[in-house]
Amino acid sequence: EVNFSRADALRREVCSSTELSFLMEAHDGLSAAIAQRAGFKGLWASGLSIACSLGYRDANEASWSHLVDAVERIVDSSQLPVLVDGDGGFGNFNNARLLARKLCERGVAGIALEDSCFPKLNSFVGNRHPLADVDEFCGRLRAVKDTVANELVLVARIEALIAGHGMHEAIARAHAYREAGADAILIHSRSSSADEILSFADAWQNRLPVVIVPTKYYRTPTCEYRRVDISTVIWANHSMRAAAAAMRRVCGRIFAEQSVATIEPDITPLEDLFELFSYDELAEAEARYLHPN
Ligand code: SPV
Ligand code: MG
C-alpha cells in the first residue's frame, strides 16, 4: 500500500496540468535524502546519474538489476514518489515488462520508457540515436501497462527530436503512445533553446500531460513552461554534477596541500550527515531493544 500511495502522489505531481511540478534527480540514498530536505515532492532516478555514480557509461552498461538495486536505495532513503528512467526497457516488450515488475516490487511510483533501441546511448552523446519502430514500441508500452496496471505511472518518452525526425513525427508518436496507454508524454530535446518543446506543447494541446527535461535549454525561464501548461519539469542530473564538481575541487586541494587542515569549512560536517539519516533513532532504538532496563 506504500507503493500505491507513492504512485498516487506521482500521478498528482506529473499528471496535473493545473500546476507545474518539479522532479529532482537522485542517484543514490544520499542524493534522494538531500532532495527531499530541499523541499522537492518527487524524484527522478536518472539513468545518466546512476550510471555515473556506478562508474559506467550511460549506454546500458549497467544492467537492469543494477538499476533496480540503485533505485531501491533511492526509494528507501526518502518518502517521495520516484519516477525511474527505464531507458528503452532493456530490450523488447518482455524485458520492459520484467523491468517494470521488478521496479514495482521495489516501491517506485512510475517508469519512463523511451522509444530508443538497446543499447540506449545518452541522448546528448553523438548523433546516432536510432528510433524504435512505433508499433514495436507501443507493444512495449502495452506490455508494461498490462503488467503493472495502475500501480505505476507510465511516462512515454519521445526521442524523435533527438533523432532528428522533426515535429510531425514527434506528434504522431505522442498520439500513438497515448493510445497504447501512456499516462504522460515526455518530449526530449537537445536544442539549446526551448522553441521545439514549446511548439510541441502548442501542437499537442495537453491531450496527455507533458514532461520536459531542460538540461540543454537551461536558460529558458520557468514561466515559459507555465505559459504552455507543461505538467512536470525534470532537473535531470544536477545533484550528480554538483557532487562531481565538489569532489573534484576537494580532491584537487587535498592532493595539492597534502593536508585536510583548510578543507573543513567547505565540506558537510559529519553531524549534518548523522542528522540527515536520523542516527538519533538508532540510539533510541538501542535504549528500547538492547538495554530495556
Ligand atoms: C537521464 O537523466 O538519464 C535522462 C535524461 O535520460 S537525459 O540525460 O537528459 O537524456
Ligand atoms: Mg536516461
Q: For 238-270, how does the pLDDT look when each residue is reduced to its tens digit (9 = 90+)?
A: 999 999 999 999 999 999 999 999 999 999 999
Q: Is the CB of 183 under 6 A from ligand 1?
A: no
- Phi and psi at 186, nearest 5°, equal -100, 120
pLDDT in the model for residue 149: 87
The answer to whether the CB of 130 falls within 8 A of the CB of 116 is: yes
Q: Which three cell numbers stand for residue 42?
A: 518527487
Q: Is the CB of 85 under 6 A from ligand 1?
A: yes
CA–CA separation, 288 and 282 (whole Å) = 10
192-216 pLDDT per residue, tens: 999 999 999 999 999 999 999 999 9
pLDDT in the model for residue 171: 98
CA–CA separation, 225 and 248 (whole Å) = 33
User: Which residue numbers in the chain have pLDDT < 70?
Assistant: 1-4, 17
Q: Is the CB of 236 under 6 A from ligand 1?
A: yes
98-122 pLDDT per residue, tens: 999 999 999 999 999 999 999 999 9
pLDDT in the model for residue 12: 83
End-to-end CA distance of the chain: give it in Å, rounded: 36
In our burial notation (b when 16+ CB lie closer than 10 A, e otherwise), range 74-102 reads bbebbebbbbbbbbbbbbbbebbbbbbeb
The answer to whether the CB of 110 falls within 8 A of the CB of 6 is: no
Cα 45 to middle of ligand 1, angstroms: 9
Distance, C-alpha 96 to centroid of its chain: 16
- Best of 25, 43, 48 for a ligand 1 pocket test (most atoms within 8 Å of beta carbon): 48
SS3 state of residue 149: coil
Atom of ligand 1 nearest to the CA of 25: 2
Length of the chain: 293
Q: What number of other Cβ atoms are within 10 A of residue 36's Cβ?
A: 19
User: Is 58 labeled as catalytic in the residue annotation?
Assistant: yes
Please compute, for residue 49, the number of CA atoms within 13 A of its CA located in the half-sphere on the CB side.
29
Q: Is the CB of 239 under 6 A from ligand 1?
A: no
pLDDT in the model for residue 3: 56
From the list 28, 58, 87, 183, the catalytic residue is 58
- Best of 215, 216, 218, 232 for a ligand 1 pocket test (most atoms within 8 Å of beta carbon): 215
Q: Is the CB of 46 under 6 A from ligand 1?
A: yes
SS3 state of residue 171: helix
pLDDT in the model for residue 1: 47
